[in-house]
Structure 1
Amino acid sequence: MNIFLIGPMGAGKSTIGRLLSQELKLNFVDSDKVIEERAGADIPWIFDVEGEEGFRNREVNIIDILSDEDNQVLATGGGAVLRSENRSNLQGRGTVIYLQASVAQQLERTSRDKNRPLLQTPDPSVVLHTLMEQRHPLYMQVADVVVDTERRNPKAVVTDIIAELRAQQIIK
């Protein structure tokens, strides 16, 4: 069984993914962390040196490898859905859960995080709105389950995800 978490930055993919993996007794993997480990550099450095295109190429490779493994909860980066290869691999290899969060919530959760290259701008709100317009239809296209994380405790979100997975008979 594979559970893939998608959604915008600040939606809680890593936090919820860790909790969900514990509840389901699955491995937890964060694709951004794996990219950093394999590159030997953090994401801002990769963006600086290779640009977003270089980062996205690395991301396609890592998601192809990780999504082909079994019994895991995989938290993807917010832009993973931009590449058709990623969308196809995620849809074809597991259950995709879209964690939704408003732009206001994303701003609140990411305001002090310097590890997000796309937000290193005078007005991150404009960037987040633009990204949401571009990415929301792609998130919806691949999602099997959509869960709102807005102002919610991560444990409550995990409880809702598990209930939905049971309702869809994905888990017992």
Structure 2
Amino acid sequence: MMGAGKSTVGRRLARRLGLPFVDSDVAIEEASGSKTAELFERFGEHDFRDGERRLVARLVEGDVRVIATGGGAFNDPRTRQLLNDRAITVWLDAPVDVLAERTARRNNRPLLHKGNPAEILSRLMEERQSYYSEAKIHVRSTGTGAHGNVVDAIVDALFKYLAS
């Protein structure tokens, strides 16, 4: 979900693992020359997600890296299948109140512009939970600890996953 800490935790995880980090939203913005919110508004969510899927397909074909996707990327069944087939997927799960507080810091979330952000986040979480649950690893974050604690939890879960 947006605000779960994917980019911040992803950067720290990549550093810990000695891997490159890519934020798919940033990569989309660099490739298009436009902000994600502008692309969303200009082309709509469906076309944005289609472009996002093509970008993710290129990213998983390259070298091993930590990739932070947009919160809605995993909704698309083709993107979800692609990621689960070619990557170790992690659902970084945070409570809605934490997501609402974090996303309120910036006005760059197009899905939150059409109503009460906390209510929208609650609805999105309910809609997306079944998709997110298909991730290979599920890490819960309370939003109160240091990002390093979340990275530790992911690293522990990765080792368990790889050992199984």
Same fold (TM over 0.5): yes
Q: CA deviation at 1:111?
A: 0.6
Partner residue in 1 for 2:107: 114
- What whole-Å deviation, never above 9, does each CA across 1:15-68 have from its counterpart, x for those lacking one? 000000001001100011111111110011111211112211111111111122
**1:157 aligned to 2:142?**
no
Q: Residue 128 of structure 2: which of 120, 125, 135 is its match?
A: 135
Gaps of 5+ in 1: 1-7
Q: CA deviation at 1:96?
A: 0.6
In the TM superposition, structure 1's runs of 4+ consecutive aligned residues that sit over 3 Å from their partners are none
Following superposition, the deviation at residue 13 of structure 1 comes to 0.4
Match of 1:62 in 2: 55
Residue in structure 2 matching 1:104, options 89, 97, 102: 97
Percent of aligned pairs sharing the same letter: 40
CA distance in 2, matches of 1:78, 1:169: 25
Counterpart in the other structure of 1:123: 116
1:29-108 equivalent positions in 2, closer than 5 A: 29-108=22-101
Q: Which amino acid aligns with 2:3?
A: G
Structure 2 gap ranges (5+) = none
When normalised by structure 2's length, the TM-score is 0.94
What is the CA-CA distance between 1:169 and the residue it aligns to? Answer: 2.9
User: Is 1:12–1:149's contact at 8 Å kept on the other side of the alignment?
Assistant: no
Residue 145 (structure 1) aligns with: 137
Q: CA deviation at 1:102?
A: 1.1
Q: Count the aligned residue pairs.
A: 162
Counterpart of 1:9 in structure 2 is 2
Contact 1:17 1:75 in 2 (8 A): yes
In structure 1, the residue corresponding to 2:28 is in which secondary structure? helix
Relative to its length, the structure with more strand (as a share) is 1
Letter in 1 for 2:69: T
Distance 2:49 2:28 in 1: 10
Cα RMSD of the aligned pairs, angstroms, is 1.1
